[in-house]
Amino acid sequence: MKGATVTLYNRPPEVQNFIEVTLALMAELAATPEAKAALAGIRDGVKRVDPQTPRSPGRQPACAHLGAALAHAAQTPQLAPLCAALEAAEPHLEWTGEERNGLASGSYAEITLLGPGGHEERRDVWLGLSLLAPHVRYPDHNHAPEEVYLALSEGDFWRETSGWFTPGTGGTFYNQPSVRHAMRSGEAPLLAIWALRRV
């Protein structure tokens, strides 16, 4: 790590700011009592900082769509501060996820800020974002923590209890623990943030 200083217990300030801006906005936009309760718990949880895993910041091929996705999101005034915070934090973050999810090259990338395999390894709260190139369907999956999504783009989401739905740019929704869910992009890239809490 020539020339780099690794401070194990500090999040980079830009990352800390992105976490705070994101969770505050998600709490504001959350539409249901379940989502609001989850976000209150997540905001409380992130006050504790766990050790930072040294990572290699960098992009994946699907990140070719990031600029377009952020430009679209920033047209929604409420989302503009979040987009600016993400642009500031992104150089500190490592995109991953394509191979692990068995998706074709250039179709998918994600950042896990907090959570298993993330920049901050922990199990109680997770926070990250997913970017899908146009016309990609992300596989069905589930996990024990409850989850709130914030859509930063158009695109469709699915859960086994309700089928496909389209929250729209700035839309939020709640997935109960262990429910199977998925997402798919249309003509435009899909960008979404996810925040999870173990219950």
Report CA-CA distances (Å) from 66 to 90, 98, 104, 156, 186.
11, 15, 17, 18, 15
Shortest gap between Cβ of 24 and Fe ion (angstroms)? Answer: 21
- State the number of binding residues for Fe ion (CB under 5 A): 1
Between 52 and 110, whose beta carbon lies closer to Fe ion? 110
Report CA-CA distances (Å) from 135 to 107, 110, 138, 157, 187.
9, 17, 10, 13, 6
- Beta strands per DSSP E along 99-197: 108-114, 125-132, 137-141, 146-151, 156-159, 163-165, 172-175, 181-184, 190-197
Indicate the residue whose CB is closest to Fe ion. 147
Shortest gap between Cβ of 194 and Fe ion (angstroms)? Answer: 6
Shortest gap between Cβ of 22 and Fe ion (angstroms)? Answer: 16
Question: Segment near Fe ion (CB under 5 A), from 60-68, 101-109, 142-150, 184-192?
Answer: 142-150
In the region spanning residues 143 to 162, those forming contacts with Fe ion, defined by CB under 5 A, are 147
Between 128 and 189, whose beta carbon lies closer to Fe ion? 128
The residues binding Fe ion (CB under 5 A) are 147
